Structure 1
Amino acid sequence: MVSRRTARDLRNENRFEVLHALFELGPSTRQELARHTGLSSATVATLVTEFLSEGVLHIATVERNTGGRPQERLTIDPDRGRIVGVDVAETYVDATVYDLALGALGHGEVALDEHENGQAYVVDGIIRAIESAVEASGTEHERIIGVGVSMPGHVHPDAGVSVFAPNWDWHDVHIEEMLEKSLQISVYVDNPLKAVILSEMWFGVGRVVDSMAVVNLGTGVGAGIAIDGSLIRGATNNAGEWGHTLLQLDGRQCRCGRRGCVEAYLGVHGLETTLAEIDPEHPALRQPRQRDFVEAVADGLTAGDPALMDLARRTSHYLAAALGDLVNLLNVPTVTLTGWTSNALAEWLVPAVRDELPDHVMPGSLPDLTVEASQVPGNAVALGMAAFTLEQFLIRLGLASPARTRPQADPDRGLDQSRHGHV
């Protein structure tokens, strides 16, 4: 049974909404925050006072207008603490240290052997990447208020468990506990698809649209989904496994055990298989690491390599068909591509996909549909995990309950009154 939402629940969520408004607006007055969020002036004033008392906000400037009361411009205090966002994939660990305003301060990366799946090996890679980022940022350990770690596979964030990581054969691994024991810092673990959609909602196209899908292309593929301003998790946090939907009946073997999955054609191994069908002796296939292979493909496309041009054409065809199914199912107006494969190949994939999508999308979902490379700065997974970790920090301070991605009614204006916008 779902418990009835109380005025206290709504006030807690409104705290996080005010904070997010400052990410969008920059230094703002209380009046500007009230207008942007739709909250009452009294509610905003109360919440700002709470944030100021905990040092989360500070007064940036005081504007003295002729004949009126001085107005304080408030901003997030970036020096209140440091957050580490970590993107763990099958082939690398990428860590970034952020200030409280989610400005990047330092970066560290460790390569992982895609054929090594031991828990101790992966944990060691995560710790080394974090240490590298912390050193690069000049951050003292005691200033770190939390670490957010994205793990591939099915993750239960409340339990810190990687339930199913198919490439590693992990089951019920309590990665959060393992990391907290080593780091002696609070750790929050989630899935990369949830991280990329949150970062897109906060820092990408989510600033202008409420419904979108963020397609992540790398070793695996998946889609982060937001509908009407709400991040979609599903019943067990497993929503977005678009990579394991069917592209071709009885098609290529997928590492999940099925045949014909989207990932078997659009993951890096899928690209390698397609190129082997085109030219089994192509030198790009001799690259020892997946990321080296993708870089070789990008270089070859720039040079006009005919086999790689054919690879891009076929891959765009697969991607357009798979995105057509996604759009037809969800009726989202915006699709963005993210991930290291997308970053390398978007120049060739995106235009071809746009041209072909009308052949795969139902007419009712086609008007104003946009497909583009994500403009979220830096590593979108690490940034999204940092945002989740900021939320956890506010909860520990008693300043927020777990934030929704769509605003709730202002309790000062009645529990049944809704507002437009999103967090």
Structure 2
Amino acid sequence: MKRTSRDIRTANRYEVLRRIIARSPTSRPELAAATGLSLATVATLVGELLELGMLTEAGFEESAGGRPRGLVAANASGGTLIGVDIAETYVHAELFDLGLTVLARAQEPVRPGERTPKQVVAQVAAAVGSVVAQAGANGARVLGVGVSMPGQVDRENGVLVHATNWGWHDVPLLDLLAGCIAYPLHLDNPLHACTTAELWFGAARGRCDTVVVNLGTGVGAGLALGGALHRGVSNSAGEWGHTTLVLDGRPCHCGSRGCVETYVGAPGIMRDLRERDAHGPLLHPDDETATIDALARGIAEGDPVAVDVVRETARRLGIAIAALVNLLNPEVIVLSSWVARRLGEPLLAGVREAVARHALRRPASAVEIVLSTIPTDPVCLGAATFALEGALASAVAAGGRHFV
């Protein structure tokens, strides 16, 4: 697709804003060096963002042998953004200022049997209403809401095309949400949200090629190639959880068998535990979170069943990641989402060992495998950046109208 000068300018404006938020405060020369844009172009774009109220002047810094450099920073009081993480067992919302600092959090449970689009939309509306109420006066200036929904998403039309674990097909989710949420809405999936969060604030920042493995109820691999989020031609890149790990293996919700997700996602881990010790204290049959938490405690206490289950999970996950290492030759692979966070270092060590054994030596020696260090919900953080992108585009389209 041919990019127009307007497209390039829009992308540059957003890149400058991203760099400032991720490393604030900063100077115009530092931005020029980081983005590869000319100092004149950076100065013009910063001026536009200052006029919009998205940035503020932040004093000066001394420079070697020259005049002090003016610093700019995100204007924290310029408005707020909301990121929503719709997961298989919960809806979590976080409200951020324009510096992407969390101001409020809320969570609604998603119980078995309560997963119709109408029910989930009501839970999203409740969570959004809660964070706005908590934020008080700040909540009155919401510039947009980014919503992450697991599955294949048509982000341009706001349609959830297919959610394997939910049984949803062609759900006009954005239209349904717009019926009860009055703010601008932006829809995408957790793979893209997590990867964006890592690009802005995590292990992918400053890297060229990164894979973010999202390990929760579902499993996927977000891609940042050439330092930018890779969506694919239909916004479906990253569905690595539905590649085959075991030929003719466990049945998967997608209709295939032996998918990666059926072995290393939370339900697959619970199945392993059930096969080893169905009546033991580690397994909570109707509660994924409680089971993974019990496994984490079991590992710390040296429980042999917990150690065995997590070791096998790490081995399978490492074998699947080895294929990504061979295929993409990335600089870094980030283990993200709640299962990876709870199982932590024991899972990481097992994955590293399996990748070293099963990947080709040269790409394996070049890749770094780490746990995500983002302190907040990475899906909410990434979803909020989608809302920020939309807010910036809307302001520019409206002729540079100030946000506040």
TM-score range, shorter chain: over 0.9
**C-alpha separation in 1, matches of 2:15 and 2:359:** 35
Rate the CA distance shift 1:40–1:269 in 2: closer, same or farther, 3 A: same
Paired position in structure 2 for 1:310: 308
Instruction: Out of 386-395 and 167-176, give the one that drifted further.
Output: 167-176
CA contact 1:90–1:114 (8 Å) conserved in 2: no
Alignment match, 2:295: 297
In structure 2, stretches of 5+ residues that fail to align are 399-404
How many residue pairs get aligned? The number is 398
State how 1:197-346 maps to structure 2 within 5 Å: 197-346=195-344
- More displaced stretch, 370-379 vs 92-101: 370-379
Deviation at 1:395, TM superposition (A): 0.2
Shift of 1:336: 0.7
1:6 aligns with 2:19: no
Q: Please report how far the alpha carbon of residue 62 of structure 1 lies from its aligned counterpart in structure 2 after TM superposition.
A: 4.5
> Which residues of 2 match residues 8-23 of structure 1 at below 5 A?
8-23=6-21
**What root-mean-square deviation, in Å, do the aligned CA atoms of Structure 1 and Structure 2 show?**
1.9
Aligned match of 1:372: 370
Deviation at 1:133, TM superposition (A): 2.0
Is contact 1:320-1:357 (8 Å) kept?
yes
Tell me the CA shift for residue 65 of structure 1. 8.2
In the alignment, residue 135 of structure 1 is paired with which amino acid?
A: A
Deviation readout 1:244-269 (Å, 9 max, x if unpaired): 00000011111211110001101111
**1:100 is matched with which residue?**
98
2:402 alignment partner in structure 1: none
Question: Which residue of the other structure, out of 177, 180, 197, is the alignment partner of 1:179?
Answer: 177
* Distance apart, 1:216 and its partner CA: 0.7
In structure 2, what is the equivalent of residue 87 of structure 1?
85
Shift of 1:353: 1.5
What amino acid maps onto 1:313 in structure 2?
A: R
Moved more, 31-40 or 173-182: 31-40
What is the CA-CA distance between 1:281 and the residue it aligns to?
Answer: 2.0
What's the CA shift for 1:330?
1.4
* SS of 1:177 mapped into structure 2: helix
Change (3 A) 1:30 1:348: same
Note the C-alpha offset of 1:44: 1.4
2:141 aligned partner: 143
Offset from partner CA, 1:98-148 (integer Å, 9 cap, x none): 001111111111111133221111011111111222233335553111000
Distance (whole Å) between structure 1 residues aligned to residue 5 and residue 364 of structure 2: 40
Asked if 1:37 corresponds to 2:40, the answer is no
Partners of 1:126 and 1:192 in 2: CA distance? 15
**2:75 paired with 1:77:** yes
**Separation in 2, partners of 1:314, 1:71:** 54
The aligned amino acid for 1:192 is P
Summarize deviations over 1:192-222 as a string: whole Å, max 9, x none.
Answer: 1000111111111122311010001111100
- Report what 2:165 is aligned to: 167
Amino acid at match of 2:80: R
Q: Structure 2 length as normaliser, TM-score?
A: 0.94
Question: CA-to-partner distance for each residue in 1:260-303, whole Å, 9 max, x for gaps?
Answer: 00011011110011112212222332343111111111122222
Question: Shift in Å at residue 375 of structure 1?
Answer: 1.1
Does residue 388 of structure 1 match 2:358?
no
- The question of whether the paired residues in 1 share the 8 Å contact of 2:80 and 2:138 is answered with no
Q: Is the 8 A contact 1:117 1:169 kept in 2?
A: no
Instruction: Find the aligned partners of 1:282 and 1:139 in 2 and give their Cα distance.
Output: 50
How far did 1:352 drift?
1.5
Q: Structure 1 residue 150: deviation in Å?
A: 0.1
Amino acid of the residue matched to residue 383 of structure 1? L
- Runs of 5+ in structure 1 lacking a partner? 401-423
Counterpart CA distance in 2 for 1:351 and 1:307 is: 18
Change (3 A) 1:278 1:389: same
Partner of 1:397: 395
1:67 and 1:169, CA in 2 relative to 1: closer, same or farther beyond 3 A? closer
Q: 1:251 to 1:144 in 2, by over 3 A?
A: same
Identity among equivalent positions (%) equals: 42
Q: CA deviation at 1:70?
A: 5.8
Residue 69 of structure 1, CA deviation: 5.2
Q: Take 1:341 and 1:120, find their aligned partners in 2: how far apart are those partners?
A: 27
